[in-house]
Structure 1
Amino acid sequence: MLRIRPFALAALMLAALLPAVPAAGLLLPLPMQAAASGLDDPIARIRDEGLNRSQVMQHLVQLTDVIGPRLTGSPGLKRANDWTRDKLSEWGLEARLEAWGPFGRGWSLERFSAQVVEPQCIPLIGFPKAWSPATRGTLVADVVHLDARDEKDLEKFRGRLKGAIVLSGGIRELQARFEPQARRLTDERLKEMGTLSSPAGTRRGRPQGFPADFRARFEFAAKRSAFLLSEGAAAIVEPSSNGDGGTLFVQSAAVPPLKNGRRVPAWSKEAPKTVPQIVLAAEHFNRLVRMVQAGEKPRMALE
């Protein structure tokens, strides 16, 4: 596993705002460069570079659009590390990759598609969970809705899930948006934010977007994964816990506990076998649940 040294990453963030300076310019003393540009104030020179010759968008496009996701242990991460090192070296900085770890297993997505194939075709917006196992080709199976909140609920489905694609969870309520999701902060609000401070000795709250029962959900997800694996379920499909309008958030796959009861993350080399796991956009997941509740018997295809 490779990473960029912290000083190199900091240099990249600064250099992203700066243009590629001609080699001859690098040889000029700073006062002479300032005089040549007509800017004597260092702050003014920094602003001039950032506002008039910024490369931040070119670099952002390369890292996000061209290279894309950079999951730890993935080919995308190595490609991003190599590109960053080469870019810093191109600017005349000393940059190198250093090994770190141990971490665990790598993971990459080669191909994925999801759709309802019966009673009609419905293309679905979804994404596999990281470190989810593959489906070994195209999987076509009946859909079963499992809205289990505890181990007692799981027992109600014993013997009913073999070979099924399981919709796990209830309908996620979505609110219509009548206000813009982004707002420009007023001068008054900025001033108010600048004077806010946390009382001494207080602990930080839960990160925004994490439910209060996150730990309990995490522990139950491991138990549910073990149950579905033992019952022979073909795949697990869940709604995105955040986002709407086709935007979804994906985390790592849930894996059963080890035989001694110890839990390990999905990327661990000790991680037990688990079931393929998919996250769907909430709107599409909700529609599938409503179809099942209405008595329909949809079939899905995953690849």
Structure 2
Amino acid sequence: MKKTLLLVSAFLIIQISPVVAQESNVVVENIIDEANDNSQLEQLAHELMDVVGPRLVGTPQMKNAHDWAVEKYSSWGISAENELWGKWRGWERGITHIDLIEPRVRTLSGMQLAWSPGTGKKPIVAEVVILPMLKDSSNFNKIASQVKGKLVMISMPQPTGRPDYNWEEFATKESFEKMKSSREKQSDAWEERIKNTGLTYRTLPEALEKAGAVGIITLNWSRGFGANKIFSASTKKIPTLELSLEDYGMVYRLVESGNTPKLRIVAESKELGAVPTFNTIATIKGTEKPEEYVILSAHFDSWDGATGATDNGTGTIVMMEAMRLLKKMYPNPKRTIIAGHWGSEEQGLNGSRAFVKDHPEIVANLQALFNQDNGTGRVVNLSGGGFLHSYEYLGRWMEAVPEEISGQIETTFPGTPAGGGSDYASFVAAGAPAFSLSSLSWSYWNYTWHTNLDTYDKIVFDDVRNNAILTAILAYKASEDSETTSRERSVLPISKRTGEQMTWPEARDAVRAGGID
């Protein structure tokens, strides 16, 4: 009798397996067809980048983005909510207008840094000076008379506005080497100028503010045509303004030549006090193993020099589109599938760290997390993140991905764990299998990462569409897998940087009250 049952069981397994495989192929094919024939990526990008705009934590635009995502998910029949995890300094960017009014009139290209104080009800009209050169830090107090009532330039002017690749293409070798040598000497001299104040780039603006300066002018060139990094201000009462390389250099030369430039500045930012900050969490409930989870991960916030298109608008719309595809083509997943849109990643992975801390039950039962963050390019790297057996399950899931997508991806197994960089690291630190879908550069670091050029027009939708297909298929296969993923860690290698054996990163809580004195 037992032998007969075994034979029958074996026969059923043989008969059922092709059926299961066929069903799996149909789901994958449907995901691909829907992604290619009915993509929502362009519309999502327009609504998020053009309509909502930049998403600096603590700003009304960040809250608008969270509300927009909840509404969008609801329109697809997906449950979503904004989950409170902390509070942040509330601030809203207004109009910035910077005009040269002496020795001639010209409107300059520039903007306030994030969280910079505004100019108040009246514009600031003031002469511009360069940070004085001191013999040593003991002389800092003597510069008050030189900066009081003035706008102070604290950055080195760039000797060329042409990126190095442009010099390599057109300059003679001798000319290129001469420029680099001159720039290096100039950089060393400027570092000495900063060092002799006894302060750092971060603490210098506040010290100049206390010395009576009425504004700080900076240049943080991103080594690409027209690209500046736009980060945060450290002044408390006076505005900090970033000028374009071209205009910074012109004003600097006017000061050097004794032409006494004067600027008129309007900066209409507003302080909003402490405001709540959120993660947006969307959920497709599992049917067989609802207490096990697959997470699609992307940080929602951005810096606000532009609209945060490739950092991380593209990662955001990849995860949203993947969730839409899954809801339509795989509405009853075996495991619960979550999309986590994290707040305040840019200030230290705060949204994801808060989620890990606040939801240990999800982290403990995480089948896999897929994170996308670094730009608009197609995914080209996948690491096992230090999990010893990651190849076994990631390899199984990748088999379902079309060759034209998977063939572009280099894999590293078992790899090493990430200590930071993006939100998957928050989960890795807690021992959960979380993986980065790392993208092709598309000049990300020079042109769009945290710059004034990170806008809709930089998105490469063919690559982003491939990433949405990849993510949806991986999530589907991870959800369906009959096996639970292993969390066994590999023995980590010796660090090339320190010469010591690497250790697994430690989990940290979020900063729950940011920028609030």
Question: Normalising by structure 2, what TM-score?
Answer: 0.39
**1:277 and 2:262 equivalent?**
no
**1:231 and 2:215 equivalent?**
no
Residue 89 of structure 1, CA deviation: 0.8
Residue 125 of structure 1, CA deviation: 1.2
User: Which of 36, 42, 45 is the equivalent residue of 2:30?
Assistant: 45
Give the match for residue 454 of structure 2: none
Native 8 Å contact 2:163 2:224 kept in 1: no
Highest RCO, 1 vs 2 (Cα 8 Å, sep ≥ 6) = 1
What's the secondary structure of 2:145's corresponding residue? coil
Native 8 Å contact 1:147 1:169 kept in 2: no
What's the secondary structure of 2:89's corresponding residue? coil
Native 8 Å contact 1:148 1:169 kept in 2: no
Give the match for residue 143 of structure 2: 157
Residues 234-272 of structure 1: per-residue CA shift (max 9 Å, x gap): 1000012424433222111114xxxxxxxxxxxxxxxxx
In structure 1, C-alpha distance between the alignment counterparts of 2:138 and 2:31, rounded to whole Å: 63
Give the match for residue 233 of structure 2: 253
| Structure number with larger C-alpha Rg | 2
Residue correspondences, number: 217
Judging by fraction of residues, say which structure has more helix. Answer: 2
In structure 2, C-alpha distance between the alignment counterparts of 1:241 and 1:276, rounded to whole Å: 19
**In structure 2, what residue type is equivalent to 1:168?**
I
- Seen in structure 2, the aligned counterparts of structure 1 residues 119 and 232 have a Cα distance that, compared at 3 Å, is same
**1:126 and 2:116 equivalent?**
no
**In structure 2, what residue type is equivalent to 1:126?**
G
**1:64 and 2:49 equivalent?**
yes
Gap regions ≥5 residues in structure 1: 1-30, 181-212, 256-272
**In structure 2, what residue type is equivalent to 1:143?**
V
Give the match for residue 291 of structure 1: 254
What's the secondary structure of 2:100's corresponding residue? strand
Gap regions ≥5 residues in structure 2: 1-18, 167-190, 267-517
Residue 178 of structure 1, CA deviation: 8.1
**In structure 2, what residue type is equivalent to 1:130?**
A
- Seen in structure 2, the aligned counterparts of structure 1 residues 222 and 249 have a Cα distance that, compared at 3 Å, is closer
In structure 2, C-alpha distance between the alignment counterparts of 1:126 and 1:252, rounded to whole Å: 14
Task: Give 1:176-255 correspondences, 5 Å limit.
Answer: 176-177=162-163, 220-255=200-235
Judging by fraction of residues, say which structure has more strand. Answer: 2
In structure 2, C-alpha distance between the alignment counterparts of 1:177 and 1:130, rounded to whole Å: 26
**1:167 and 2:153 equivalent?**
yes
Question: Normalising by structure 1, what TM-score?
Answer: 0.64
Give the match for residue 106 of structure 1: 90
- Seen in structure 2, the aligned counterparts of structure 1 residues 178 and 141 have a Cα distance that, compared at 3 Å, is closer
**In structure 1, what residue type is equivalent to 2:207?**
F
What's the secondary structure of 1:158's corresponding residue? helix
**1:80 and 2:65 equivalent?**
yes
**1:89 and 2:74 equivalent?**
yes
